[in-house]
Structure 1
């Protein structure tokens, strides 16, 4: 175990270049901080990559012979390729997805695999998060392109099993460096910053939004990060806060944003006050100056993420506060954090006279279909995320008060989803409105929706007409076949009956004639005439087996 302590730059055994020392003085770092790095740097989020790139620029600026380049999502990859071909990059800062993409762009004249053969240092920043976010496959692909002889640095605030596995599998002669605070803070086992005041508030699901709005209205001059569990919740509640908290700049950022994400991040960093509504994409490594409050509207899916969220305030010796909202059934999470994460919390009582803003939120949904749809998506995503919580003994889906939760989301009706199937919600009263008739406030979107509805209606009518005609034709054909079958059966019966009756009549007639002939009541000539009269061919007594009478000589 190697411990790094603070010291002056002049105390290093190898003196730094005067220009490096000048950049350090310009940044305001008179002493060494625990970590200084360079070369190929991979980080999980584009915001953190931007931040690292900015810091590196201070060091490369005095050295024009060195160039650096930033590769992140949300930018044109073709332009990144051309920029690299023109300017090169002694130091590359990248997110995994974009870096992997660059390795595969040989068709555009970029042979990055050849360029990194002389790589000296690889840095995986927030290494545990890189693996946790599903970048493992990309990281493995990237490592295959890199030379085996290199220095590798894994930086992480939490040491997960995945990081330990990566250390054993990919590092030679690994050395662990642990960073600790000096003085009284060093003797404390807590994982959160020593100057952080950590609070929790217990409130029902349908009270939480009112409490949040009231809090923001009373802290307008401060800077806040507000964490939600899903991107859909950020979209919905961000829109709600923007409308209901006047005089406060509200911004939203989450992982599914594309081009405007970088712009929003940079703009919020420059604000003196305001609120950034976000997901855990902002929980790691991000250094936003002077964040006063970290508000966790939804507890994170893991205990380690709770600590990282709180760490966005009270940074580098500054003070700061954090507040997490908990449902009554979740209150035992406080004890869990204290035991599991060495993170003590103190209770903040419910604020009084908050007022009820949920009717206004319902009115927004009734007036704009965009708000209504965002609310439904947010509710569904919240429940799905809740079901996957790491601490399932505390966050139990089956114990959720869905009616109170739906009221807290100001829903007009319950969505159809598997988790709610077969359940009754007596505590939730749906709005007396046909939600299909709610229009978009945006006239272009509403026009598109009406056009789509018309197309769907026409399709249903055409499908119904086709089905009707098909059924009608099939019915006609079936009726025709049945009728033909019945007629054939009737004809067969009639024909069979005629043949049988005619034969019987002729047989009886022939029998009577034969009896008369045998008894001598009629002559042979009269007998043959009788047979001819009944339609028989000319026959003789020999044909009937009757012996001929003796003729007169």
Structure 2
């Protein structure tokens, strides 16, 4: 850990740690030989009766900043917790992060070898936990290996001082099946990790119910790398913090700028604040949309050859994109690269297995490991030896950009991050600079993975390697129609995600080269999309594929396709020269919704008009009262007709508005 990231030794804490907690080999095994600024600032406050709101860059050691105080507070209790009582509750937004926090606590608890000691003065059903020795005190209730009922059963059998989980599972544990079992009256600490993410996602209702159920006499801590956003800060009152201490650990970097003052050249030192780790080199490359996949492969090659990098994470916009590139990217990279895919649509067991395999994969420059992921792997995951992060697609939420970059350069280590931007997307660099995320431009990589001298798109032709890469992917896709379906799904999902970017004035569909994106995906043909209507298709050529015989590798899918084809042939009418039914014009989903709403509105108007006409007809058919004068209705109709004629003259300018008013309205 560099000196700039050190904020004192663990022995310098105002309140010394309990002997077994301060086992230095446990802390050092996590890469923290000395305290980081966030740890030295937070631990003393949280060990006392103080709520905290902590903001620090990713990889700065926030997990230890709350794990150690939680353990200390539970150990130092004057009265011991009963078997059915919970002392600390830790809530995280994802299963993966919950599992990681669980592993951190497990490291400390496994360092205490003492066995539970029974208390003969108490009944067995009120089993008391020794003050300085923990029985199995840790319960992870967001594991894919257990159900809600199994979580409750484990708690009944072993008890738990500390419960870790996601909001939904925590709510069910406390307020659902576990309401009559779990006692939170003695709860000491509540921790919300990645608090802004918990507040931004759809967890507000669950968190409100959980917090209302907890005792008010507790300590609460909110931890995140991006807590300065107004929407997250406005939720602090709802979360229930009382006069919290705010801890903000800033990262500053020095930049030397040449100045010309009175014709005397000089240099000035500028201090810049940033929300990314100090040891992170954050680059971006501008390229055409058709060249993104080529640049991705060349970045991998450059990092392996020039920096001996061996562990990579590549971020895509959608789950479908991850799923597709996981299958086609091996055609463009060396076979020695081990690929892993992680996204939210995978079953929890698969996600856990993938993350474990990637983390434990023995890597080297000759045998690198690459994880293709969505933003499900952007926050909180601590994989210390990630060398490089590549953002194939910028995230839809700009706050996620710094979290993605923070998967590398963790705990004082160095790392590099790359972002691929196309055309107008380069304005995103200034957008991020305002948010204190600096990016440095890097030259376009040429065919030999060396920087190209002129990276601007407008001074060079399209890379010749685009055609070759597209053909390689197409040959792979042509072997299985299922890959074609995945490619189309990935392409459509990317376009939809792009249109919903929070920086919509930068990421605009009309400015994006959609045919270039299709080339980078290696599509066999363009899908039918309204977004492609105004695109120039002159440089696009469909692959030469016989679609009648293009088959699925999966036998069940192929049988279904053949059945559909035969049914279509059987039911399709023979051409008889009659005018065929016009095909329905495809529209964007937003236009379809608007058209449906307009249709409903017209339907309501027609119904109202029908009822009015019916009422008028009923009135006309009723016999007139003989006592009424004759010609009254005719006079009214004549007045209305005269007024309408005069209104038309006003509209044409033949009569003034004042003249119209004088004739038909009493202005006296």
Same fold, judged at TM 0.5 (above): yes
What SS class does the counterpart of residue 380 from structure 1 fall into? helix
Q: CA deviation at 1:103?
A: 3.8
Report the more deviating stretch, 265-274 or 368-377. 265-274
| Residue 267 (structure 1) aligns with | 357
2:452 paired with 1:345: no
Following TM superposition, by how much is the alpha carbon of 1:249 offset from its aligned partner in structure 2, in angstroms? Answer: 0.8
Deviation at 1:331, TM superposition (A): 1.5
Q: CA deviation at 1:28?
A: 5.4
Alpha-carbon distance change, 406 to 150 in structure 1, aligned in 2, over 3 angstroms: same
Counterpart mapping for 1:436-515 below 5 A: 437-441=549-553, 445-451=554-560, 453-454=562-563, 457-458=566-567
Matches within 5 A, 1:308-347: 308-347=403-442
Cα shift at 1:66: 5.3
In the TM superposition, residue 439 of structure 1 has moved relative to its aligned partner by: 1.8
Measure, in 2, the Cα distance between the counterparts of 1:300 and 1:410: 22
Question: For 1:127 and 1:263, how far apart are their aligned partners in 2?
Answer: 26
Q: 1:15 to 1:117 in 2, by over 3 A?
A: same
Structure 2 residue aligned with 1:225: 313
Q: Deviations over 1:503-543 (max 9, x none)?
A: xxxxxxxxxxxxxxxxxxxxxxxxxxxxxxxxxxxxxxxxx
Q: Deviations over 1:480-500 (max 9, x none)?
A: xxxxxxxxxxxxxxxxxxxxx
Give the 5 Å matches for 1:86-101: 86-101=157-172
After superposition, the C-alpha distances for 1:309-334 in whole angstroms (9 at most, x for unaligned) are 11111122211111111102212222
Q: Distance in 1 between matches of 2:409 and 2:28?
A: 23
How far the C-alpha of 1:384 sits from its partner, in A, is 0.4
Partner of 1:397: 509
1:250 aligns with 2:352: no
1:70 equivalent in alignment to 2:128: no
Measured after TM superposition, the shift of residue 448 of structure 1 is 4.1
Task: For residue 236 of structure 2, give the secondary structure of its aligned residue in structure 1.
Answer: helix
Residue aligning to 1:541 = none
Partner of 1:290: 385
Give the Å deviation of 1:449: 3.5
Cα deviation digits, residues 466-490 of structure 1 (max 9, x gap): xxxxxxxxxxxxxxxxxxxxxxxxx
1:388-409 deviations in whole A, cap 9, x for unaligned? 1111111111111111111121
1:123 equivalent to 2:191? Answer yes
Q: In the alignment, is residue 426 of structure 1 matched against residue 516 of structure 2? A: no
Name the SS for the 1:212 alignment partner.
Answer: helix
- Tell me how far 1:187 sits from its aligned partner: 5.5
Contact 1:198 1:322 in 2 (8 A): yes
Shift of 1:48: 1.5
Q: Indicate yes or no: 2:329 matched with 1:238.
A: no
The answer on whether the counterparts of 2:250 and 2:274 sit within 8 Å (CA) in structure 1 is no
Q: 1:141 aligns with which of 209, 219, 225?
A: 209
CA separation in 2, counterparts of 1:64 and 1:182? 41
CA shift for structure 1 position 432: 3.3
Whole-Å separation in 1 of the counterparts to 2:181 and 2:237: 24
Shift of 1:342: 4.1
Shift in alpha-carbon separation, 1:463–1:85, aligned structure 2, 3 A: farther
Task: Name the residue aligned to 1:471.
Answer: none
**Partner secondary structure for residue 59 of structure 1:** helix
Q: Of residues 90, 100, 107 in structure 2, which corresponds to 1:58? A: 107
1:154 to 187, 204, 222: 222
Q: Is the 8 A contact 1:66 1:89 kept in 2?
A: yes
After superposition, the Cα gap between the structure-2 partners of 1:30 and 1:211, relative to the gap in structure 1 and judged at 3 Å, is closer
Q: Contact between 2:136 and 2:158, CA under 8 Å: does it hold in 1?
A: no
| Structure (1 or 2) with the greater helix fraction | 1
2:236 pairs with 148, 167, 179, which one?
167
Partner of 1:375: 487
**CA shift digits 1:13-51 (9 cap, x unpaired):** 333221111243565544334123332111112221121
**In structure 2, which of residues 93, 96, 99 is the aligned counterpart of residue 47 of structure 1?**
96
Provide the rounded CA distance (Å) in 2 between the counterparts of 1:238 and 1:275: 10
Q: Are the counterparts in 1 of residues 90 and 165 from structure 2 also a CA contact under 8 Å? A: yes
Q: Tell which deviates more after alignment, 329-338 or 26-35.
A: 26-35
Listed one character per residue, the Cα deviations across residues 149-173 of structure 1 (whole Å, up to 9, x for unaligned) are 2211111111222321221222222
TM normalised by structure 1 equals 0.76
Q: 1:351 to 1:70 in 2, by over 3 A?
A: farther
Q: CA RMSD in A?
A: 2.9
How many pairs were matched up? 456
- Please state whether the residue corresponding to 2:493 is helix, strand or coil: helix
1:404-452 Cα deviation digits (max 9, x unpaired): 11112111122233434576633322223354642222xxx32344146
Which has more radius of gyration? 1
Distance in structure 2 (CA, Å) of the matches to 1:325 and 1:112:
53
| Separation in structure 1 between the aligned mates of residue 35 and residue 390 of structure 2, nearest angstrom | 32
The superposition leaves residues 248-291 of structure 1 with CA deviations (integer Å, 9 ceiling, x where unpaired) of 11111011111210011111112323111111111112211221
Cα 1:453/1:74, change in 2 over 3 Å: farther
Pick closer, same or farther for the CA change 1:342–1:68 going to 2, 3 Å.
same
Residue equivalent to 1:497: none
Cα distance in 2, alignment partners of residues 72 and 114 from structure 1: 16
Are the structure 2 counterparts of residues 375 and 75 from structure 1 closer, same or farther at C-alpha, using a change threshold of 3 Å?
same
Q: Which of 279, 294, 309 is the aligned partner of 1:195?
A: 279
Q: CA deviation at 1:112?
A: 6.5
Check whether the contact 1:73–1:95 (CA below 8 A) recurs between aligned residues.
no
CA distance in 2, matches of 1:64, 1:113: 21
The alignment partner of 1:332 has SS state of: helix
Does the aligned pair in 2 maintain the 1:204–1:327 contact within 8 Å? Answer: yes
CA distance in 2, matches of 1:342, 1:462: 60
- The alpha-carbon deviation at position 137 of structure 1 amounts to 2.7
In the TM superposition, what is the alpha-carbon distance from 1:229 to its structure 2 partner? 0.8
Q: Distance in 2 between matches of 1:317 and 1:155?
A: 19
* Residues 191, 341 of structure 1: 8 Å contact kept: yes
- Of the structure 1 ranges 334-343 and 264-273, higher mean CA displacement relative to structure 2 is found in 334-343
Change (3 A) 1:116 1:440: farther
Out of 366-375 and 20-29, give the one that drifted further: 20-29
Counterpart Cα distance in 1 of 2:302 and 2:10: 44
- Kept after mapping to 2: 8 A contact 1:234/1:252: yes
The corresponding residue for 1:10 is 11
Q: 1:147 to 1:424 in 2, by over 3 A?
A: same
* Contiguous gaps of at least 5 residues in structure 2: 40-64, 71-87, 113-132, 256-269, 450-464, 574-668
Q: Could you tell me which of 168, 179, 187 is aligned with 1:111? A: 179
Q: Mean Cα displacement is larger for which, 138-147 or 387-396?
A: 138-147
**Structure 1 portions without partners, runs of 5+:** 465-553
